[in-house]
Amino acid sequence: METRIERLCVANGLRMTGPRRVIARVLSEVNGHPDVDELHRLAHRLDPRISLATVYRTVRLFEQHGILERRSLGSRRARYEMSGEHDHFHLVDQDSGQVIEFDEPETELLMRKVAARHGFELVSLKIELFGRRLGTAARAPEPAGEAAGP
């Protein structure tokens, strides 16, 4: 079955090669905010010939065509997610590294007004909240190299 990403590729006039099809499938099935390494691991499982370089090239291509969006979310590696109709924000659990997405349309509108007040047209925005679950005693923030901070 053809994924939504594949359809977007065709709509953007991109050549549908084997590796791109596999990476599109992986992107459609994974949830969360995978980094390139994770995408490569998953794609490699479906087709061991797929190289890391191709995954890098493909996510960059997809990003340039507005199919994917790149986030940092406090981690060193870039992380990707499918583009949606409107921006959404991310709340990062500093203890577990878990990322929660949420919509906040009023805030997006507010930010647009703030930009306008400074004489700017808003093109995009990133809102990342870093926090700790309520009722959790403060502890060492990152046991392993997974969680992320500001």
The binding site for Fe cation consists of 108
Q: Which two tokens stand for residue 33?
A: 């905010």
Bind-site residues: 108
Residue that has been written with the tokens 């190299």 in this structure: 145
The secondary structure of 53-81 as a DSSP string is HHHHHHHHHHHHTTSEEEE-TTSSS-EEE
Q: Can residue 109 be called a binding residue for a second copy (CB under 8 A)?
A: no
Name which of 10 and 100 has its Cβ closer to a second copy.
100
How many residues are there in the chain? 150
Which residues touch 39 (CB under 8 Å, ≥6 apart)?
Answer: 23, 26, 27, 30, 55, 59, 80
Q: Which H/E stretch holds residue 11?
A: helix 4-11
Work out how close the CB of 80 gets to a second copy at its nearest, in angstroms, rounded to a whole number: 12
8 Å CB contact between 4 and 29:
no
Binding range to DNA, per CB under 7 A, among 48-56, 95-103, 113-121, 131-139: 48-56
Would you give the binding string for DNA spanning residues 8-47, x where CB under 7 A is met?
------xxxxxxx--------------xxx---------x
Interface contacts to DNA, rule CB under 7 A: 14-20, 35-37, 47, 49-54, 56-58, 60-61, 76-78
The footprint of a second copy (CB under 8 A) covers 69-70, 72, 89, 91, 93-94, 100, 102, 104, 107, 110-111, 114-116, 118-134, 149-150
